[in-house]
Amino acid sequence: MKINIKNIRIKSICTTLFISLFLSCNNGVIEELEKRNTFLSSLANLGNDFLNIFTSFSDMVTDTLGIIMLILKRVI
């Protein structure tokens, strides 16, 4: 049984190229997930800011008009 050295070299080169290609394909996924996380966190922060503005505006209106709201435990 003879060993063909040219065949082994070609197979090893193809295997090495395939493994390096397979490992390099995963890099884009992590960056996309980070972009998605920053987008979702900015949306959550925007919602929190809107809530803060709305409560500040309602406090300002109630103070200006002199509306006093009493919340009793029985009501809740």
Over residues 4-35, the pLDDT tens digits come to 666 667 777 778 888 877 776 666 677 777 88
Q: Where are the domains of the chain?
A: 5-65
Name the one residue in this structure whose structure tokens are 């309602």.
Answer: 58
- pLDDT of residue 49 exceeding 70, the answer is yes
Q: Which two tokens stand for residue 5?
A: 């050295």
Give the Cβ contact number of residue 67 at 10 Å: 9
Q: Which two tokens stand for residue 69?
A: 């709201």
What pLDDT is attached to residue 21?
77
Q: Which two tokens stand for residue 25?
A: 């394909």
Which amino acid, one-letter code, is at 15?
T
Q: Closest Cα partner for 15 from 7, 25, 3?
A: 7
What pLDDT is attached to residue 4?
64
